[in-house]
Structure 1
Amino acid sequence: MFDALKNREKKISVIGLGYVGLPLALEFARDFEVIGFDINEDRIQMMKNGEDPSEELESSAFDNKRITFTADPAMLKEAHFHIIAVPTPVSESKVPNLKPVLSASETVGKVLKKGDYVIFESTVYPGCTEEDCLPILEELSGLKLGRDFKIGYSPERINPGDKERTIEKILKIVSGSDEEALHEISKTYGAIIKAGIYEAPSIKVAEAAKVIENTQRDLNISFVNELSIIFDMMGIDTNEVLEAAGTKWNFLKFSPGLVGGHCIGVDPYYLTHKAKQLGYDPQVILSGRRINDGMPGFIAKRLTQMLIQRGKNPSQTKVLIMGITFKENVADIRNSKVAELAREIMQYSINVHITDPYASPNEVAKEYKLTLVDNASDDYDAVIVAVNHMEYQSLDFEYFKSICKEDPIVMDIKAIYKKPGADAGLTYWRL
């Protein structure tokens, strides 16, 4: 397979051109013939014009690439090495939503040929590739794994907004349905990944490795989030505690915050879902999830308490939230905990304004039914800096006072600013 791909006798297809699929497809398109497929025709048209709908890549990333963008699934018949990189979200009740990956499996199953490879990159629970997706491929193609085609799993490790650790600089885990599949998949990815390839012993191991990467981070953040709640009750600055504890060589440095996005706040539910199917009720993982999911409510309640302590009626106050994307310097608003924070604050009848230099007002309105303001006013009772955008890092407390009423509250969720003195003329609070 690899030799035929390298000689451009066969093509690679990438199904799902989001923040994972598009950079992967373009990287392969340096040396291979690639078909980039997405069901969203508007996104396809943007990519044909050299635009990244996720606003992660410059237009130059599309230059001199051997890639055909299409929303026509029939064109996938021309490919022999199919990579599925569609989203794997959870429902509102925190149950894995496999519809996108199963639908993509159906699309590929209808065009699968003898000798083809199918590699999944979407984050799933261990067993999903072989137990849920493979049967679809076999049923719709009429082919049999091993005899007619091969499959693999190679978990994505894209870090949105990171201009240093780009796709080719991140070590890649690969796995295959047999030794030959592993060898060919490893060589194919190895042609574009400069950081190296790790060959997992099985597809299930590769799936499990991916899902625990983010689960581990989720648990570590939940620990410091719980500390921040406890220390706030004690009147202790959590960041000062973490700095002091961090002087020990084996102390792990994590910071409290809102855990959103499409990875850390989602992936643990795939693992816990599978565990429950097997009859085991996860304790630690779900406890961490409850803490992190509860942080917007904690911050909203704390803000309301601080306003009331100042003799202010919440229903007569106005608060500015700065930042709504799930992380700094990106336009992605998926699973934004800041949107949840805004709703929690509104539950106290507080008037909320939201601003963000990266987020699309139309997408925010469509996804969350929230409105972004173009410019801040000058009569806020409190400002919440929720995302560490570079545009916010140079602001000072004089700026915050200039857009607020007398004696305002500044809530610094990401601990961006140095703690002010007692004579700053404002109340500063951070997780």
Structure 2
Amino acid sequence: MYEQLLQKKAKLAVIGLGYVGLPIALEFARKIQVIGFDINAKRVEMMRNNIDPSGELEAKDFEGCDIEFTDSLDVLREATFYIVAVPTPIDEHAQPDLKPLLGASSSVGKVLKKGDYVVFESTVYPGCTEEDCIPVMEQLSGLKFPQDFKVGYSPERINPGDKEHTLSSIVKVVAGCDAESLEEIAKTYELVVQAGVHRASSIKVAEAAKIIENTQRDVNIALMNELSMIFDRMSINTYEVLEAAGTKWNFLKFSPGLVGGHCIGVDPYYLTYKAKELGYDAKVILSGRTTNDNMGAYIARKTVQTMIKQGKDVSKSRVLVMGATFKENVEDIRNSKVADVIQELKNFSVNVDIVDPHADSDELQHEYGFRLTPENEVRQDYDGIIVAVSHQPYTQLDEAYFKSITNQPAVVIDIKGLFRGKIQDLAYWSL
């Protein structure tokens, strides 16, 4: 398989061209022939015109790539090596939503041929590839695994907005269904991953490795958030504590904050779901999830309490929330916990305006039911400001700017501690 791809006698297809799939497809397309498949025809047309719908890549990133973008199964059928990179979200009950993944497995099953390879990159619980995806492909293709086609798993490690830790510079974990497929899959990824690949012993091991990466971070951030709530009652600044503790060589440097996005706030639920299915309640992981999921409401309550201390009538107050994406310097609003802050403020009858230099107002309206305030409508009489996301432009602001748009006495709620030690006259609070 590897040699056929290298000699361009075979084509590689990437199914799902979002934050993960498109960078992978373009990277491979600089070495071999690639088919980029997505069910969204509008997105496909944008990529044909060298536009990344996710806003992560520039037009120049499409140059020199041997790739055909399509939403046609007939075109997809021309491939022999398939990489599935669709999202794996959770539903409103925090249960795994496998519809995109099983839909992609169905698409592959309809075009699968004897001798083909399928590699899944979507984050799942251990066992999902073999227990959920393979049966779908077998049923629709009429082929038998592993005799007729091979399957592997290689978890994605794309970090939106990160220009340093890119696909080629991060070690790639790969796994196959047998020794032969492992080697073929590993060599294929080595074409584009300069940092090299780690050959996992099984698909389940690779699936588990991915899901604990984000679970570990989630639990550690939850600890920082809980410490922040404790230190707040002691009138101690959490960031000062972390700076002091961080002078020890083996102290792990995590910080408190809102935990959203498509990974950290989602992946642990896949692991706890599978654990529950096996008769085990993942107490530590779920406790961390509860802590992090409640941080938006906590921050909103602290905002209201701080405004009341400043003599504000909450129902007549107006707060400006700066930042709506799930993290700094990206357009991605998926699972943004800023929405929780805004909703809780509205529950207190606070009037809320929202600004963000990266987010799309229509997307926010569709996903969360609020729009961005146009720049020319930003007021000068806010009673409170919440710096929710540390976008680069916000890091350049100072107290004079906050004074210019507030009705004093006003409060500054600085979630990430950007302005610690820089706010003297306004009431200040941070995690």
TM-score interval for Structure 1 and Structure 2 normalised by the shorter chain: over 0.9
Query: Given residue 164 of structure 2, which amino acid in structure 1 is its aligned partner?
Result: E
Matched residue, 1:383 = 385
In structure 1, what is the Cα distance between the partners aligned to 2:251 and 2:27?
A: 37
Q: Deviations over 1:130-167 (max 9, x none)?
A: 00001111111111112111000000000110111111
In structure 2, what is the Cα distance between the partners aligned to 1:416 and 1:311?
A: 25
Matched residue, 1:392 = 394
Matched residue, 2:427 = 427
Q: CA deviation at 1:120?
A: 0.2
Q: Deviations over 1:18-68 (max 9, x none)?
A: 000000000000011100000111100110000000100010011121000
Farther off after superposition, 284-293 or 364-373:
364-373
Report whether the alignment pairs 1:174 with 2:146. Answer: no
Query: Given residue 152 of structure 1, which amino acid in structure 2 is its aligned partner?
Result: G
Q: CA deviation at 1:378?
A: 0.3
Contact 2:353/2:372, CA 8 A, preserved across alignment? yes
Q: CA deviation at 1:248?
A: 1.3
1:149-298 matches, within 5 Å, as 149-298=149-298
- Match of 1:159, SS state, is coil
Query: Given residue 234 of structure 1, which amino acid in structure 2 is its aligned partner?
Result: M
Matched residue, 1:4 = 4
1:11-30 matches, within 5 Å, as 11-30=11-30
In structure 2, what is the Cα distance between the partners aligned to 1:51 and 1:28?
A: 18
Aligned counterpart in structure 2 of residue 405 of structure 1, from 404, 407, 414: 407
Contact 1:84/1:118, CA 8 A, preserved across alignment? yes
Stretches of 4+ aligned residues off by more than 4 angstroms:
none
5+ residue gaps, structure 1: none
1:33-182 matches, within 5 Å, as 33-182=33-182
- Match of 1:239, SS state, is helix
Contact 1:420/1:428, CA 8 A, preserved across alignment? no
Q: Deviations over 1:187-220 (max 9, x none)?
A: 0000110011000000000000000000000000
Contact 1:84/1:121, CA 8 A, preserved across alignment? yes
In structure 1, what is the Cα distance between the partners aligned to 2:363 and 2:146?
A: 44
Contact 1:419/1:428, CA 8 A, preserved across alignment? no
Q: CA deviation at 1:249?
A: 1.4
Query: Given residue 61 of structure 1, which amino acid in structure 2 is its aligned partner?
Result: D
In structure 2, what is the Cα distance between the partners aligned to 1:387 and 1:300?
A: 14
In structure 2, what is the Cα distance between the partners aligned to 1:427 and 1:191?
A: 55
Query: Given residue 387 of structure 1, which amino acid in structure 2 is its aligned partner?
Result: V
In structure 2, what is the Cα distance between the partners aligned to 1:420 and 1:160?
A: 30
Aligned residues: 429
In structure 2, what is the Cα distance between the partners aligned to 1:55 and 1:170?
A: 21
Query: Given residue 163 of structure 2, which amino acid in structure 1 is its aligned partner?
Result: K
Query: Given residue 54 of structure 1, which amino acid in structure 2 is its aligned partner?
Result: S
Report whether the alignment pairs 1:316 with 2:310. Answer: no
In structure 1, what is the Cα distance between the partners aligned to 2:340 and 2:72?
A: 37
- Match of 1:92, SS state, is coil
Aligned counterpart in structure 2 of residue 414 of structure 1, from 410, 413, 416: 416
Farther off after superposition, 12-21 or 143-152:
143-152
Farther off after superposition, 152-161 or 243-252:
243-252
Q: CA deviation at 1:366?
A: 1.1
Q: Deviations over 1:343-372 (max 9, x none)?
A: 111110000000000001111111111010
In structure 2, what is the Cα distance between the partners aligned to 1:254 and 1:165?
A: 18
In structure 1, what is the Cα distance between the partners aligned to 2:313 and 2:384?
A: 13
Report whether the alignment pairs 1:351 with 2:351. Answer: yes
In structure 1, what is the Cα distance between the partners aligned to 2:242 and 2:40?
A: 45
Farther off after superposition, 162-171 or 152-161:
162-171
Contact 2:307/2:410, CA 8 A, preserved across alignment? no
- Match of 1:110, SS state, is helix
- Match of 1:236, SS state, is coil
Query: Given residue 119 of structure 1, which amino acid in structure 2 is its aligned partner?
Result: V
- Match of 1:160, SS state, is coil
Give the TM-score, by structure 2 length. Answer: 0.99
In structure 1, what is the Cα distance between the partners aligned to 2:78 and 2:4?
A: 13
